[in-house]
Structure 1
Amino acid sequence: MTEVNQAAFSSQYVGMEGNAIGGGGGGRGEAEDWKYHAAEFAKGVAEMSVEFGRGVRDVVKQSLLTKDSYFMRNIGEPCVKFCERLRFLNEYLPEDRDPVHSWSVILFVAVVALAALCISTGHDTTTTLVKRLYIHPPSARRILLPDGRHLAYQEQGVSADRARFSMISAHPFLSSRLAGIPGVKTSLLEEFGIRLVTYDLPGFGESDPHPNRNLQSSALDMLQLSYAVNVTEKFWVLGYSGGSMHAWAALRYIPDRVAGALMVAPVINPYEPSMTKKEISRIWENWTSQRKLMYMLARRFPSSLAFLYRRSFLSGNHGQIDKWLSLSVGKRDGALIEEPTFERFWQRDVEESVRQRNVKPFVEEAVLQVSDWGFRLSDLKIQKKRQGKGILHWLKSMYSQAEEELTGFLGPIHIWQGMDDKVVPPSMIDFVQRVIPGAMVHKLLYDGHFTYFYFCNECHKQIFTTLFGNPQGPLPDEVEDQTPIKIGQENDADEEEEEEDTLGDTARD
């Protein structure tokens, strides 16, 4: 036995000596041995980690996740309630997906993406020129409302006493009274005899905020403004994009004062209960994921909008319109917003909109669009007034000769909608046509959200011609009779006045 071990030891020693003498062959053997040992060590560490994780999981289940544990008694129930509130998110998953697995993967990917974004922005070495927002000195006219608030407004076109048609407009989101009809020429307004009055919504521009505003209070503000600026006849309401919900409110709450409605790319509540599932799907599929998220936050978690708005258009810096509003624009819209004229107009309008640096009005405006309006668009449909129920009402209708009354908005509603609009999908207007069949819709085949309404004199003229017919100019001035008097007549008149004065003096004597 000893001899065998000695022989084995001798052969091993000789092999080691040979490796030492051979040099290169021995180096490759040692490298292979190192790789083998490293791989085995890594496998061992992985197996130990898996076993350790399983052990931790078992300990957590046995000590923390039991019904009687401190954790479940104090934290488990609030977590269950919170998860129940988020259960509506499962509607966005396909039917064959497990919510627990899917949302865990989504959360992990979101964390990784956010970390990558932070790293990329942190190591960004490019320098870009950032234009600061400039707050201009106050310049608006203001009226005092019955509740003590001030409302800022702007007038364009002809004066009140010479206006054939008066038009009042509320501005869309992230805008101000300066918007009105962007780029409309004063000469065109005078040609049609139009007086255009635009105003700042509460908390925007130079208007005071409203403590509890809604669409009904918005319509009443418009009514008070019309009286204050001496609009004695019925006026037209103008609604563009997000500002159209205030025009819809005017048709609902002050219809007796409204002559008609001009709508351009009007929005509706994307959660309108009258919409079918197919209509909802057609509307939502056209929006970017960011825009869908903003609508969801406005409806479910409105307080989160304040943080997002402060980091974007309330940060004090100018930014791109598509990023601020989460828009996806078509080719023609994209080319328009890159033009210097549009950029100057947009930046000045934004500066006026955010002059108070108050985030609350913007959150209110976003929430108004996706919450209950207090009415449905179908309420504006012209229809017979519903009679009361019962035998007495039936007998009254049999023997009464009174004409049937109509409800809804009785004036004209004109809507211009671009078929390439990525902000207000054309499918929204299809829904409006269904619930308000009397509305006259003008579909623009190649236009988007901005191209037909911004800086297009020919477009503005087409709109006014459709609404008011051929231009007739402003109303003539009311002047007194200025019939010329001949010189001879003047002398005779002077002599008669002298004779009357002489007779009067004689009578007094």
Structure 2
Amino acid sequence: MAGGVNRKISAASARSHTRRAKQGSALVLPSGSFTKLLAVLFVGILALAYRAIQPAAPRIPGTPGGPPVTAPRIKLRDGRHLAYKEHGKPKDVAKYKIVFVHGFDSCRHDAVVANALSQEIIDDLGIYIVSFDRPGYGESEPDPKRTPKSIALDIEELADKLGLGSRFYVIGMSMGGQVVWGCLKYIPHRLAGTVLLAPVVNYWWPGFPANLSKEAYYQQFQQDQWTLRVAHYIPWLTYWWNTQKWFPASSVVAHHPDIFSPPDKAILSKLPLRRPHAAQVRQQGEYETLHRDMMIGFGTWEFDPMDLENAFPNGEGSVHLWQGDNDLLVPVMLQRFIAHRLPWIKYHELPQTGHVFPLAEGMCNAIVKTLLVGETTAFA
């Protein structure tokens, strides 16, 4: 009788074969799965990169979770609020009315001209000064659409809301000096006179000879050269560049001591170390203050200051530019070129002086008297 082979397979052996089969099959992906996996990983990497370059939403003053509003404010044409601070004589009795524009990483409390001006000159000449938080700083709401023109119109509206009259003076320091150029371009009919104190220059203004702006540009720290390149050429990466940890970013933002020259350090050593209002400056977030300043200040402007015409052709006002010859933040060679290109500007170059010269004792008295009554001193 024919018979087959009758083999019995144990349960343990069956399980062992089953496991090996399953393990082997796990290495084989269904058709197209690997491509889908790569796509998911790519999208995930893009999402992480997008989050890295996106700044956090600003903490708007007076809103839930935002800082409190402590300053008087006006409401602007687009609904934003602008915070301000008044100094000197009451505006309804003052003879001269001045708008002061603060610089980079500062606020309305850093109104150096108002803070350093002697009470005697304020009383004798009858001077009123208003300082304000530029958009995104302090308690002024940010302006995501800010341009050199929009900030000039903000100043005009501030003057109108406060009743400063048909004409007023504007003084801007450092980054605030850039704002004065915008005022000369867009609201010259409202100006009685202006002062630019060590105004920051944009190395990409077309009016500069290429070799001159290049020479001045490379006098900066290398990390600042890269920071400004990012702000100019790829502004959408400005937030990432200034918050990443791989490469050093702006030495100015980091308050590196070597950004100041020896004359600056001598002046600063005599001042109080503590600024009671320092926390207010960046309280809305660094993007809408420092980073946007970089993007606007060193971006592509819609006009070149060196193409401006004299705002006071009949001598009814004057424009003054004050600059130290030992300024490590703003190259004196570029200010000299501007003064040569625009001979209607009264140029005052101060020897052996740095960027913070307005803080020197008596300096603001000289600046203001030169502007208002044409009185020059040994400082000039």
Between the aligned partners of 2:263 and 2:269, the Cα distance in structure 1 is 10
Paired residue secondary structure (1:461) = helix
Letter in 1 for 2:345: A
8 Å CA contact 1:381–1:409 kept in 2: the answer is no
Q: CA deviation at 1:301?
A: 2.9
8 Å CA contact 1:142–1:150 kept in 2: the answer is yes
Paired residue secondary structure (1:143) = strand
Between the aligned partners of 1:364 and 1:415, the Cα distance in structure 2 is 25
1:426 aligns with 2:354: no
**CA 1:378–1:185: 2 relative to 1, 3 Å:** closer
Letter in 2 for 1:344: R
**CA 1:380–1:333: 2 relative to 1, 3 Å:** same
Q: CA deviation at 1:286?
A: 2.4
8 Å CA contact 1:204–1:355 kept in 2: the answer is yes
Paired residue secondary structure (1:263) = strand
Q: CA deviation at 1:470?
A: 8.1
Which residue, 345, 353, 359 being the options, matches 2:281? 353
1:440 aligns with 2:368: no
Paired residue secondary structure (1:466) = helix
User: Paired residue for 1:465?
Assistant: 369
Deviation beyond 4 Å, 4+ runs, structure 1: 308-312, 406-410
8 Å CA contact 1:204–1:353 kept in 2: the answer is yes
Between the aligned partners of 1:364 and 1:322, the Cα distance in structure 2 is 13
8 Å CA contact 1:297–1:305 kept in 2: the answer is yes
Identity %: 27
1:278 aligns with 2:211: yes
Q: CA deviation at 1:137?
A: 5.5
8 Å CA contact 1:381–1:437 kept in 2: the answer is no
User: Paired residue for 1:167?
Assistant: 98
Task: Give the TM-score, by structure 1 length.
Answer: 0.55
User: Paired residue for 2:358?
Assistant: 453
**CA 1:158–1:245: 2 relative to 1, 3 Å:** same
Which residue, 111, 124, 138 being the options, matches 1:180? 111
8 Å CA contact 1:309–1:359 kept in 2: the answer is no
Q: Which runs of 5+ in 2 are unaligned?
A: 1-37, 39-65, 246-250, 376-380
Paired residue secondary structure (1:274) = coil
RCO (CA 8 Å, sep 6+): is it higher in 1 or 2? Answer: 2
Between the aligned partners of 1:409 and 1:147, the Cα distance in structure 2 is 35
- The 5 Å alignment of 1:29-428 reads 138-181=69-112, 183-185=115-117, 187=119, 188-310=121-243, 323-324=254-255, 328-341=259-272, 343-345=273-275, 348-357=276-285, 359-382=287-310, 411-428=317-334
Q: Deviations over 1:63-93 (max 9, x none)?
A: xxxxxxxxxxx9xxxxxxxxxxxxxxxxxxx
Between the aligned partners of 1:285 and 1:357, the Cα distance in structure 2 is 30
Q: CA deviation at 1:164?
A: 1.1
8 Å CA contact 1:259–1:411 kept in 2: the answer is yes
Between the aligned partners of 2:94 and 2:145, the Cα distance in structure 1 is 34
More helix, by proportion? 1
Between the aligned partners of 1:324 and 1:303, the Cα distance in structure 2 is 23
Q: CA deviation at 1:414?
A: 0.6
8 Å CA contact 1:420–1:448 kept in 2: the answer is yes
Between the aligned partners of 1:457 and 1:235, the Cα distance in structure 2 is 26
Letter in 1 for 2:373: G
Q: CA deviation at 1:277?
A: 2.3
Q: CA deviation at 1:310?
A: 4.6
Over the residues paired in the alignment, what is the CA RMSD in angstroms? Answer: 2.9
Task: Give the TM-score, by structure 2 length.
Answer: 0.73
Letter in 2 for 1:174: D
Aligned length: 305
Between the aligned partners of 2:218 and 2:317, the Cα distance in structure 1 is 33
Between the aligned partners of 2:257 and 2:304, the Cα distance in structure 1 is 27
8 Å CA contact 1:171–1:180 kept in 2: the answer is yes
Q: Deviations over 1:216-243 (max 9, x none)?
A: 1111100100001110141111111111
Q: Deviations over 1:304-323 (max 9, x none)?
A: 332354579xxxxxxx9683
Between the aligned partners of 1:372 and 1:409, the Cα distance in structure 2 is 32
**CA 1:413–1:349: 2 relative to 1, 3 Å:** farther
Letter in 2 for 1:258: L
8 Å CA contact 1:330–1:422 kept in 2: the answer is yes
Larger radius of gyration: 1
Letter in 2 for 1:269: N
* Higher mean C-alpha deviation, range 350-359 or range 254-263: 350-359
Between the aligned partners of 2:90 and 2:325, the Cα distance in structure 1 is 36
Q: Which runs of 5+ in 1 are unaligned?
A: 1-73, 75-134, 313-319, 384-405, 472-509
8 Å CA contact 2:133–2:140 kept in 1: the answer is yes
